[in-house]
């Protein structure tokens, strides 16, 4: 059983929802990343989403764009990110790690080599923003049974495509809650409920929701309707604001995750009671 699947099974048993924080690897400099990953787990993260810097992140808002630019100033490559996970795994063998990014760094590495290296480093899944299932057949072939492939469903996705995407996904399905880039807009919970239901009609996989979740209250709202809550830009903003001190960055990020965790758990405990 994959680490991601295992983690969702445990959470279901406990009647809790998954909290998935995102960070850009190498932001603001490579030394921050592994300590931040451990701190996120400590503060209540269930799965980590680690962004691979790319020069042309076409689906990101300014917050994550700038994070990727900061990492690229330090020439952080896909290889470096894989090595960071290897280091993380020296002291944490339980928490699933999902790589998020754009296809080109993987394309130039070669799909087979990438899967081998990722699995060897202890990476559990991959989510590529610019790789819809139609173009993913080859990568999926190499990843099958070794690396989960998480695909995205968006508000514009037709039900026919939702079915196709659900079939192509493993680990979980990622629902992008709004039309726009990361860090944008406001949540429409009603719309999220409908779409999550639609996805669940086509798969038994857990459904995670990301985009627009920025505090304990939005995390709580989403945890009522989805299996996982994904938080990105709100955390990256805190790293940006505290880039001169690793300790301050860890403190700020941990605080937000802890408050989200509390919001989500209070809700699940009370509804279970």
Partner 1 sequence: MRYSALAQLNKPYDYPNEDGHFGPYGGRFVAETLMAPIEELTAAYETAMADKTFLDELDHELKHYVGRPSPLYFAARWSEMVGGAKIYLKREDLNHTGAHKINNTVGQALLARRMGKKRVIAETGAGQHGVATATVAARFGMECIVYMGEEDIQRQAINVFRMKLLGATVVPVTAGSKTLKDALNEALRDWVTNVDDTFYIIGTVAGPHPYPAMVRDFQAIIGREAKQQILEHEGRLPDAVMACVGGGSNALGLFYPFIEDEQVEIIGVEAAGHGLATGEHAAPLCAGKAGVLHGNRTYLMEDTGGQIIPTHSISAGLDYPGVGPELSWLKDTGRAQFVSATDDEALAAFHNLTQVEGIIPALESSHALAYAAKQAAKMDKDQILVVNLSGRGDKDIHTVAELEGITL
Find the binding residues for partner 1 in span 60-99 (CB under 8 A).
Answer: 60-62, 65, 69, 72, 75, 77-79
Closest C-alpha among 156, 106, 96 to residue 128: 106
Measured from the CB of residue 250, what is the shortest distance to partner 1 in angstroms? 28
Closest C-alpha among 159, 89, 129 to residue 232: 129
Measured from the CB of residue 16, what is the shortest distance to partner 1 in angstroms? 28
Measured from the CB of residue 221, what is the shortest distance to partner 1 in angstroms? 21
CA distance 235 to 254: 9
> Which residue from 47, 82, 123, 131 is in contact with partner 1, where contact means CB under 8 A?
131
Q: Which is nearer to partner 1, 177 or 218 (CB)?
A: 177
Q: What is the dihedral of CA 192, 198, 200, 202, to 10 degrees?
A: -150
Measured from the CB of residue 210, what is the shortest distance to partner 1 in angstroms? 12
DSSP assignment letter at 176: E
Number of residues that bind partner 1 (CB under 8 A): 46
CA distance 224 to 208: 11
CA distance 261 to 235: 14
CA distance 265 to 273: 12
Instruction: Tell me if 132 contacts partner 1 by CB under 8 A.
Output: yes
CA distance 214 to 260: 9
Find the binding residues for partner 1 in span 170-199 (CB under 8 A).
Answer: 176, 179-181, 184
Q: Which residues are bridge partners to 148 per DSSP? A: 125
Q: Which is nearer to partner 1, 176 or 264 (CB)?
A: 176
Measured from the CB of residue 87, what is the shortest distance to partner 1 in angstroms? 19
Which positions touch partner 1 (CB under 8 A)? 53-62, 65, 69, 72, 75, 77-79, 102-109, 129-132, 134-135, 151-158, 161, 165, 176, 179-181, 184
């Amino acid at each position: 059983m994959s680490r991601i699947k295992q983690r969702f099974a445990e959470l279901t048993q406990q009647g809790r929802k998954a909290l998935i924080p995102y960070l850009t690897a190498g932001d603001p400099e490579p030394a921050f990343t592994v300590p931040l990953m451990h701190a996120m787990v400590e503060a209540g993260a269930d799965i980590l989403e680690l962004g691979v810097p790319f020069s042309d992140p076409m689906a990101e808002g300014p917050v994550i764009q700038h994070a990727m630019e900061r990492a690229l100033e330090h020439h952080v490559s896909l290889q470096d990110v894989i090595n960071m996970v290897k280091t993380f795994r020296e002291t944490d063998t339980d928490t699933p790690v999902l790589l998020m990014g754009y296809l080109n760094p993987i394309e130039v590495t070669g799909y087979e080599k990438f899967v081998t290296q990722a699995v060897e480093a202890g990476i559990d899944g991959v989510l590529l923003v610019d790789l819809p299932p139609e173009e993913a057949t080859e990568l999926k072939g190499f990843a099958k049974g070794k690396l989960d492939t998480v695909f995205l469903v968006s508000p514009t996705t037709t039900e026919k495509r939702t079915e196709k995407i659900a079939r192509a996904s493993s680990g979980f399905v990622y629902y992008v809650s709004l039309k726009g880039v990361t860090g944008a807009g406001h949540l429409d919970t009603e719309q999220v409920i409908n779409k999550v239901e639609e996805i669940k009609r086509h798969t038994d996989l857990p459904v995670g929701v990301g985009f627009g979740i920025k505090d304990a209250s939005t995390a709580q709202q989403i945890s009522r309707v989805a299996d996982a809550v994904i938080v990105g830009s709100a955390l990256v903003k805190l790293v940006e604001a505290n880039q001169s001190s690793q300790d301050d960055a860890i403190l700020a990020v941990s605080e937000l995750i802890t408050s989200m965790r509390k919001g989500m758990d209070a809700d699940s405990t009370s509804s279970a009671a």
